[in-house]
Amino acid sequence: MQALVQACRREQWPARIVAVIANRPQAEGLAWATAQGIATAVVPHRDHPSREAFDAALAREIDRHQADLVVLAGFMRVLTPGFVSRYAGRLVNIHPSLLPAFPGLHTHAQALATGAQAHGCTVHFVTPVLDHGPIIAQGVVPVRQGDTPEGLAERVLQVEHRVYPMAVRWLAEGRVSLADDRRVQVRGVAERLVVWQGETA
């Protein structure tokens, strides 16, 4: 979230972050966003009897800010099909793997356990099927000999901080379109892949 806010301001996107919303009052990003002058809100999921009731309350809060784009960042809740449909085509997420490989949790450990040679992150449209939405952009890092899940996660996070702002800026600029076959196209962009450029293994 911080990387998105900073990129939006530094690069002067044709957009602004209108609010940061969390489901946990102790989420660290809330205090940071407040310090940046960004509106914040908390919609505690435990205050609602069902996922549907929570998602309805979350949608009301989002709509109160008149958001054109809903960007998930560290939001660890499975959203209901009704919520996803409400924001279809303008609800995006980033997942710490090269989807469709390793959906769900513990992606770094999964990559190491299967002997993957490359790992990374994926920015995608959110659909009712978890971690299976159309892919907007990806970032790749090599898996090194002796890697741990923690070390691999740190390198993936660095690439996430480049890939997610890049993809969200494309969306803000109206350059992203979704074909009927679920393929994403971005006008004026030849390559939607960011490859880790850190030190070699």
Q: Domains in the chain, ordered, with CATH?
A: 2-195 (3.40.50.170)
User: What angle in degrees, to the nearest 10, is found between the helix axes of 149-172 and 2-10?
Assistant: 40
What per-residue confidence (pLDDT) applies to 69? 98
E runs forming strands in the chain: 19-22, 39-42, 70-71, 91-95, 118-125, 135-142, 176-178, 184-186, 193-195
What per-residue confidence (pLDDT) applies to 149? 98
Give the tokens for residue 158: 């660095």
Give the tokens for residue 85: 């449909």
Give the tokens for residue 8: 């939006």
Average pLDDT over residues 131-157: 97
What per-residue confidence (pLDDT) applies to 114? 98
Torsion angle of the four alpha carbons 63, 137, 17, 74, in this order, in degrees rounded to the nearest 10: 80
Q: What is the rounded CA–CA span in Å between residue 45 and residue 22?
A: 9
CB 140 within 8 A of CB 195: yes
Percent of the chain with pLDDT over 90: 93
CB 19 within 8 A of CB 65: yes
pLDDT band at residue 199, thresholds of 50, 70 and 90? low
pLDDT over 50 (residue 201) = no
Q: Give the β-pairing of 193-195 and 184-186.
A: unpaired
What per-residue confidence (pLDDT) applies to 9? 97
pLDDT over 90 (residue 144) = yes
Q: Which of 48-57, 89-98, 171-180 has the lowest mean pLDDT?
A: 171-180
pLDDT band at residue 4, thresholds of 50, 70 and 90? very high
Q: Which residue has the higher pLDDT, 23 or 198?
A: 23
- Per-residue pLDDT of 76-132, as tens digits, reads 999 999 999 999 999 999 999 999 999 999 999 999 999 999 999 999 999 999 999
Please name which of 157, 136, 162 lies closest in space to residue 69, comparing C-alpha atoms: 136
Q: Which residues are catalytic?
A: 95
